[in-house]
Amino acid sequence: MRTYDLTPLYRSTVGFDRFANILDNVLSSDTSQSGYPPYNIEKIDEDAYRITIAVAGFSDDELNIETREGQLVISGKKVETKEDKDVNYLHRGIATRAFEKRFQLADHVRATAATTENGLLHVDLVREVPEALKPRKIEISGRKQIEGKLDA
């Protein structure tokens, strides 16, 4: 596995330590666990996104979605019933094992809705930049010239 030394990034930047930590976590994460359950990330609009996760076999009560520490955490844990224990499978190909998916959210991105449809969980996200952080146009006020004289 490749490793990257991010020390120069820490040395030459100020205020980007959160970004460097995210990058470090992504580069060092174990990718073998990221395959289950499969998911898509879509950009719907300039400030709208959707995460879709395949959750076939899970009911809405067995899924949990929360945001904490700048992350969206989606987890699922199958509750085994007496009927499930009585089933004698010849082949079991539908995975219903517990999972937890973490998605790092950018600043000002929040989850707005979650729905399930046809075995897929859709989580809608929106980026809401506060007015104070949006670009503003600054009008240029110059000197006015009246009768050949400059007014300050």
- Tell me whether residue 88 is in a domain: yes
- pLDDT tens-digit readout, 76-126: 998 887 777 888 889 988 878 899 999 989 888 999 999 999 999 999 999
pLDDT value of position 81: 79
Q: How many domains does the chain fold into?
A: 2
Asked whether residue 52 falls in the same domain as residue 72, the answer is yes
- Mean pLDDT, rounded, for 118-137: 88
Burial (CB < 10 A; 0-12, 13-18, 19+), residue 1, is: exposed
- pLDDT tens-digit readout, 12-56: 666 666 666 667 666 665 544 568 899 999 999 988 999 999 999
pLDDT value of position 6: 67
State which residues form the domain around 102: 35-129
**What is the Cα–Cα distance from 128 to 48, expressed in whole angstroms?**
9
Asked whether residue 125 falls in the same domain as residue 50, the answer is yes
pLDDT value of position 75: 96
Is the model's pLDDT at 130 over the cut of 70?
yes
Asked whether residue 20 falls in the same domain as residue 72, the answer is no
pLDDT value of position 129: 81
**What is the Cα–Cα distance from 129 to 110, expressed in whole angstroms?**
11
Asked whether residue 87 falls in the same domain as residue 115, the answer is yes
pLDDT value of position 31: 45
- Tell me whether residue 140 is in a domain: no
* Predicted TM-score (pTM) of this structure: 0.68
Give one word for 83, left, alpha or beta, with left for phi > 0 and alpha for psi -120 to 50: alpha
Asked whether residue 55 falls in the same domain as residue 107, the answer is yes
pLDDT value of position 32: 42
**What is the Cα–Cα distance from 94 to 59, expressed in whole angstroms?**
14
- Tell me whether residue 106 is in a domain: yes
Asked whether residue 71 falls in the same domain as residue 108, the answer is yes
